[in-house]
Amino acid sequence: MVVFVFYTGNTNAQIATPQVIPKPLPTSQIKYNSTVNISAGKQLTPWQPKAKEEVVLKRSDVAKSNAELMAKMTDPSAVHSLEDLSAFTAKVMKGDDAINYVKISATITEIDYSFYGRLLGIFPFHPITRTFVDSKHKVRIQPPWYRLILGHTTDLDAKELQKKIDSESATMAGLRSDLSRWALQFQVLADLMKVKGGSAK
């Protein structure tokens, strides 16, 4: 028996081939690469935050500082690393008990300094005055809020400090590193504060 099949449809039609969808891997078997390959053989590495460059010292930190390194920090030009800057700062603080706190970074230099005064003009007192120098070398002094009930504390003046900082601009520009310049700026502030306020009594 012969069976004839007649096809009257489109002879140009294509029969779609079935697609095989791969089964996803379990999460535990997926491997991640920390680098991404891009054209021309270059590699894009993951972003990593830069370590914050600053030195922060309290009075209690001075005794813990590296004494050997402190001895080598004879002047700001010897400062080439954050460790050097920390040792230099500790050395200056060791020579002046009135410096209670120091913060030095690219954006700010801050000194908390203890001056001599008298509460209500009678009782000996040591108010803290904060002095700031920003990244543009502008000086700002923040006396204690209770200064109105204190006797005479200090002759420290922001304009005088500003004039002293400005007079050292050429010296700062001649130093090789920003860290050395930060060290010099701190030293200038600390020296003038000691002259104006005297060490804590």
* pLDDT tens sequence across 126-148: 677 889 999 888 999 887 766 66
Phi, psi of 64 (to 5 degrees): -90, -5
- CA–CA gap between residue 56 and residue 185 (Å, rounded): 15
Asked, for residue 34, whether it belongs to a domain, the answer is no
Count CB atoms within 10 A of the CB of residue 4: 4
Asked, for residue 168, whether it belongs to a domain, the answer is yes
Overall domain count for the chain? 1
Asked, for residue 171, whether it belongs to a domain, the answer is yes
Q: What confidence score (pLDDT) does residue 199 get?
A: 44
The residue that leads in pLDDT, 150 or 98, is 98
Asked, for residue 117, whether it belongs to a domain, the answer is yes
Q: What confidence score (pLDDT) does residue 38 get?
A: 39
Q: Is residue 158 scored above 70 in pLDDT?
A: yes
* pLDDT tens, residue by residue, 4-54: 444 455 555 555 555 555 566 555 554 544 444 434 454 544 444 455 789
Determine whether 108 is exposed, middle or buried from the number of CB atoms within 10 Å of its CB (0-12, 13-18, 19+).
Answer: middle
Please name which of 111, 123, 106, 61 lies closest in space to residue 86, comparing C-alpha atoms. 61
The token pair that represents 76 in the structure block: 């700001």
* pLDDT tens, residue by residue, 80-108: 999 999 999 999 999 999 899 999 999 99
Range of the domain at 140: 54-197
Instruction: Check: CB of residue 200 under 8 Å from CB of residue 126.
Output: yes
Asked, for residue 122, whether it belongs to a domain, the answer is yes
- CA–CA gap between residue 118 and residue 5 (Å, rounded): 118
Asked, for residue 6, whether it belongs to a domain, the answer is no
Q: Is residue 173 scored above 60 in pLDDT?
A: yes
Q: What confidence score (pLDDT) does residue 87 get?
A: 96
Asked, for residue 28, whether it belongs to a domain, the answer is no
Asked, for residue 18, whether it belongs to a domain, the answer is no
